[in-house]
Structure 1
Amino acid sequence: MLNPKKLDMAYKRYRKNFVDGINFNDIKEKYDISKSKIESIVESNAIEKDHILLVNLNKIFSYYLSQWKNDVLISGGYKAEGLKNMQKVVFYQCMGQDLYKIRYPQMIIEYSFRGVIVALVHFTMFGWEKEENILFDFIVEHFGSNLLEANDENRHTWFLLELYLQYRNNTIMGTKEKVHLNVKEKFKNAGLQCGLIPEDLDVYSEVLERWSTPSSEEIENLVGKMALYHSQLASEIGQLGEFGDFRYGFYPFEILFLLYVRKQMDLYVPKQFEDLLMNTPEAKMVFGDPEPYPEWDPLLLQIDNFYRKNYPEYIPNKHGVLFR
């Protein structure tokens, strides 16, 4: 049962984390330190050190995470620029990592399976189809490899992936239904790690069976169950768990993606919600159709240009201009 007082306290702690805990000015200072490292490598064309560019993408991500929280969560605005740049950085982490799969095959990956799927569904919601397709191709090519280990315990991640596949009529490992179970079985047979992949998706299994229902009452009930599930886990903010993180703890992107997909298919979408989760500033952001690309971060642009110049096999080189 959801404890409303506990949820409210958790939300206040979530917000306070980006006021007193992770100060925007402190993050900006770390971003500036990375700037000098990146510019030094780019200006000297130091290819032997260019993996440092990839590592420093995390500082750019953190900068825009902090900007997003400052603009939306703290100030109560609806600017999605920070969020858009966060997902864009994840894209370039994947594109850059692909370059080092032979040179540094044991290199630590700076992104997660969950993070890549989150970027994919946001590209979809933003209407950035070209970049979405490139990222999906990367996912398919590297699924289960050391570049994209999919031994993920988060139920909402598997829900998002399966809903995306059904919406786009695509497949992963030959399936778009009960994806988590099929992947788990195939990974097990291939000797790949799969112990964290859940056996069931809880409320998300029910939603996947009925996400395209024409019934307004049924979809409202399903969304309510999703919000309750998310809220119960977000109540444990700061703890290890599915929605216990401060990055996305009270941002119901899995529900927003479901509503986006239904809207695109001209199906009924609830407009009003009574619960706290669906009434946070992050939940109330409105995306354009399509959403304008964000202005290029100068450091990210330098990194992209460096890789384009020095590596013909760099994936973006095959696709021309991106994010413009």
Structure 2
Amino acid sequence: MVLTETTVEDLLKKVSLLKKEIQKVIVGQDEVLEEILVALLAGGHCLLEGVPGLAKTLMVRTMSQALHLSFRRIQFTPDLMPSDIIGTEILEEDLVTGKRLFTFTKGPIFANILLADEINRTPPKTQSALLEAMQEFEVTYAGKTYHLDRPFFILATQNPIEQAGTYPLPEAQLDRFLLYVKIGYPSEQEEIQILSNTTGTRKNKVEAIVSGEEIVQLQALVREVSINDDLTAWAGKLVRATRPDTTTADYVKEWVRWGAGPRAGQALLLTAKARALLHGRYAVTEADIQTMAFPVLRHRILMNFKADAENVTSDMVTATLLKVIERPKAL
């Protein structure tokens, strides 16, 4: 489908309205909200991490209300089974013929927006039920493949504290999350506003702003955002510099066990394009790549034991690389 200039402008206006609609309920967290919308426009999935009470679930639920999309929530627990996510076959009797047949009953994964709440509280066997859906946007059960409706967007949450009874996500599954977003505490003024908004009788109604078809159009438009070759090369150098075996940076060799793979480079360029579009621009800037580097690389740079012992994080590595990797001269 070829989008006209008027259609593109209308879509961008709706994205701006979408953000304002969510902010009727969610106070502050502008950076977090922007990163979630970037993931949605880029067609990827998002992992949210924050301590309890920071409105992670409320943010996802509010966003689903502002979209003309189906929404399902799964509370991940240690006894959750893969069939509780993707569905299962049920033996049913045909009332006409009297024959008994197995019928596939779709699980909650068959939704446009899926909230995987506290995803790290279920064993890896159950976590892996999401892998095919996240990458191929389809589900295979009993030898038959079922395609998921588009757009398909998984927002998973996890708690950085209370690690007892949790199961860390395997690196293969972490890599399938386009962005790893960390949610911090609100400012003093924002917290006062939250207290005021949530302890009274007034409730803000969220209106549905954007349809599923429009989201798909925006996802296609993201890929048409231009980026010059110098910025592409700079993003590639940044990703390659995270790998101990190909980098010249001694601190990477000292602190990093495994660096980011090619998928990180793809994610960095795609999210930079989505951020540019979110800001009403049709070309990627250096600031887009710098901003998205942290949520893109955060879970793709694996630190070694020495780094863990001395509290050196992947964000620190990313910040240092952004300073030392030579920028394109034209910028």
The answer, yes or no, to whether TM exceeds 0.5 is no
Structure with greater proportional strand content: 2
TM-score by length of 2: 0.28
TM-score by length of 1: 0.28
